Amino acid sequence: MLQRKKIIIIGGGFAGIQLARHLDKKLFDILLIDKINHHQFQPLFYQVATSQIEPSSISFPFRYIFKNNPNVQIRMAEVLNVERELNKISTTIGEFNYDYLVIAIGCETNFYNNAEIAKHSFTLKSTYDAITIRNHILETFEKIISANDTEKEGLLNLVIVGAGPTGVELSGAFAEIKNHVLPKDYQGIDFSKFRIILIEGSKHTLSNMSKMAQEASKKYLEQMGVTIYCETFVKDYNGKILTLNTGELINTRTVIWSAGVIGNKIGGFPPEIITVGNRIKVSRMNKVFETENIFAVGDIAYMETPEYPKGHPQVANVAINQARLLAKNLKSIINNKPQIEFEYKDKGSMATIGTNKAVVDLPFIHFKGYFAWIVWMFLHLMLILSVKNKLIIFINWAWTYITKNSSLRLILSSHKNFTNKNT
């Protein structure tokens, strides 16, 4: 009987979770390491940020996910360095040895080396980020009620930078609560003065999708009252004034940055296998170049193929499929069988702009509107890990659809933080 190999997976995102679930339990002992204790369903972060669903609905504790898998151990830590020659990693809680190492650490927000923008902007890369935005937005409206006219202008301008799926979905969700929810809660505020501004550097919203999706998303957003700046870049933001490359200045206390990602960093690898975007170069079997037993999957992995000569898109479907194939290939390595090269088949992309409004690009058809919205909801529900959470999210969506309201507008921050925060 073969002795089980020890495999360490760094990161519990889509790739890390799928790999841990699909590895052969008879062949591997698995150690999953992450800085937080739960898996996060990133496609629905924007709904937490806009008070449509609770964070617990899209957050899944690792120990719960693997409660029936005794060969999976969990450690909450940050990995500091990989010592390749010693088959060892250093973390904030100590050192761990491995037979195989899989890096699935994903990406973080890319501020393009602008420290001031990074300091003063909000990001949406974690459940905590989503809760932070939700708290800030609700606190902002509490402040507006008692603010003078000079202060109100900055509080009433909400800016979202980046018109990819995250930016578009956030803009649409904020427009809906502006039109249907917040006026009922804050009847003393003139919401005609509340501006939602979406800034995009390219010529179109959803620039990586079809022309139909680009045109439809822009039209939907404008109909909902969103102000869109295309071919426009943010030069600076000091927490109060946003400066555009056109010279225009926007007075705002809320900037949400969704204008790009860059790979999370991990030490121990030579610079020649790290791309400009901090992605790690891998073979068609996801093996890290210049290594024999280290692999990278998901957003952090940079793999060139004939179909994708500049690497694969950093989306969940790529991460999930790479992880599932790597689980098979690792079993093949143990059994001295041939490995299979990764080939990504793009099944399409989609984005929702609001109730009854979505765009879907499939390889054979592009469509929009109510049916696209139903498809978007169904496919996202199917990706949720537990049946209980699927049901909770569906009930929340149904209630919001019927009532155009929700009861989730809780400010979950300390009274001290709120009262001491500058306006």
Residues 129 and 190 placed together within one structural domain of the fold: yes
Q: Is residue 231 included in any domain, yes or no?
A: yes
Q: Is residue 48 included in any domain, yes or no?
A: no
Residues 214 and 287 placed together within one structural domain of the fold: no
Residue 265: CATH number of its domain: 3.50.50.60
Residues 181 and 268 placed together within one structural domain of the fold: no
Residues 231 and 134 placed together within one structural domain of the fold: yes
Q: Is residue 340 included in any domain, yes or no?
A: no
Q: What is the pTM of this model?
A: 0.92
Residues 143 and 204 placed together within one structural domain of the fold: yes
pLDDT at position 302 is: 97
Last residue within a domain, chosen from 334, 369, 386 = 334
Q: Is residue 71 included in any domain, yes or no?
A: no
Residues 223 and 367 placed together within one structural domain of the fold: yes
Residues 231 and 361 placed together within one structural domain of the fold: yes
What's the pLDDT tens digit per position in 132-145? 999 999 999 999 99
What's the pLDDT tens digit per position in 161-184? 999 999 999 999 999 999 888 888
What's the pLDDT tens digit per position in 81-131? 999 999 999 999 999 999 999 999 999 999 999 999 999 999 999 999 999
Residues 158 and 249 placed together within one structural domain of the fold: yes
For 289, the token pair is 């170049």
Residue 405: pLDDT over 70: no
Residue 376: CATH number of its domain: 3.50.50.100
Residue 359 lies in domain:
115-259+355-420
Q: What is the pLDDT of the chain when averaged over all its residues? A: 92
Residues 18 and 167 placed together within one structural domain of the fold: no
Least confident of 15-19, 408-412, 413-417: 413-417
pLDDT at position 419 is: 47
Q: Is residue 188 included in any domain, yes or no?
A: yes
Residues 278 and 396 placed together within one structural domain of the fold: no
What's the pLDDT tens digit per position in 234-248? 999 999 999 999 999
What's the pLDDT tens digit per position in 324-368? 999 999 999 999 999 999 999 888 999 999 999 999 999 899 999
**Cβ contact 313:6 at 8 Å:** no
Q: Is residue 31 included in any domain, yes or no?
A: yes
What's the pLDDT tens digit per position in 265-319? 999 999 999 998 999 999 999 999 999 999 999 999 999 999 999 999 999 999 9
Total structural domains in the chain? 2
Residues 201 and 272 placed together within one structural domain of the fold: no
Residues 185 and 270 placed together within one structural domain of the fold: no
Q: Is residue 323 included in any domain, yes or no?
A: yes
pLDDT at position 181 is: 85
Q: Is residue 236 included in any domain, yes or no?
A: yes
